[in-house]
Amino acid sequence: MALSVYMVDVFGAGSFSGNPLAVVVGADGLPTGEMQRMTRWFNLSETAFLLSPTHPEADYRVRIFTLEREMPFAGHPTLGSCHAWLAAGNRPKKAGEIAQECGAGLVAIRRDGERLSFAAPALIRSGAPSPDELAEARELLGIASSDVVDAAWIDNGPGWLGIRLASAQEVLSLTPARSWPGRIDVGVVGPHAPGGDAAVEVRAFFSDHLGSIVEDPVTGSLNASVAQWLFATGAVEEAYVAAQGTCLGRKGRVHISRDETGQVWVGGEARVHVEGRLQGI
């Protein structure tokens, strides 16, 4: 079986500056175990597999895998998958809007020139963390309780616990633990001083299947839920740009907006850097 594969750079401000994604096109015949095995071989934070839709309104269906498990939704695989689907010559049923089917249901994606934006999905877990949950996140990050401006569950699928710090510099200065005994997913945000190209700095830390703590270069799902949190609490009121990946030598830029209905949209650039065929399947 020969399948098409695209290597897509998502959310980067320039070439090779965002979060890479492998997208396998025409994956209807692949069993789940093979998808997981291929994901571990690619060794990226996520790999996406495009399939025929089952929902009548969907343009395509995607299954998203991390090195550890399948995810119902993730942000940079959503935009990267859509970009690869369009690059493969496909056209949406509705002009200007693409309907993606995934484990979380239908996700709307808008196209504005070279930028794609997805509609932030509803949170599946929100509210304040327990004292023990917050203490665990603080221990991971190596910070004191006085450093935390706010904290909340902002989980839209991956399991994010959000921590807000007083400044972007505090976010950039974090030196989290290198390993963790259990599953943990923590996103951190802090404001930049006015006048720069980004309003906030975001960092994402999670434990992988080996117990190591990994920092994600640019995270669409986290930026989506952070935006919902910041808008809901009044920490931000207007559209903004988030920077991520700075400590990893990346230049991720995530464009956040909110429409008249209150729907949050998460946008960024996507570029195909490699296109080819997978052999030996």
* Mean predicted confidence (pLDDT) in 259-279: 96
* The predicted structure's pLDDT at residue 198: 98
- What mean pLDDT is predicted for residues 89-109? 94
Express each pLDDT in 186-230 by its tens digit: 999 999 999 999 999 999 999 988 899 999 999 999 999 999 999
pLDDT over 90 at 280, yes or no: no
Element (H, E) at 145: none
**What is the tens place of the pLDDT at every residue in 128-161?**
999 999 999 999 999 999 999 999 999 998 899 9
Give the fold, CATH level 3, of 131-260.
Diaminopimelate Epimerase; Chain A, domain 1 (3.10.310)
pLDDT higher than threshold 70 for residue 102: yes
Single out the residue of 225, 209, 84, 218 nearest to residue 152, CA to CA: 225
| The predicted structure's pLDDT at residue 203 | 98
**Close Cβ partners of 131 (under 8 Å, ≥ 6 residues apart):** none
Distance CA 256, CA 193 (A): 18
Q: Where are the domains of the chain?
A: 3-120+267-278, 131-260
Show which residues are catalytic. Answer: 46
Domain 3-120+267-278 and domain 131-260 have a common topology: yes
Return the CATH fold of 3-120+267-278.
Diaminopimelate Epimerase; Chain A, domain 1 (3.10.310)
Contact 117, 255 (CB under 8 A): yes
Spatial CB neighbours of 95, under 8 Å, sequence gap ≥ 6 = none
> 249: Cβ–Cβ under 8 A, 6 or more apart, which residues?
none
Kindly report the average pLDDT of the chain as a whole number. 96
Q: How many CA atoms lie within 13 A of 20 on its CB side?
A: 12
Q: pLDDT tens digits for 238-251?
A: 999 999 999 999 99
Q: Over the range 28-49, which residues count as b (16 or more CB within 10 Å of their CB) and which as e?
A: eebeeeebbebbeebebbbbbb
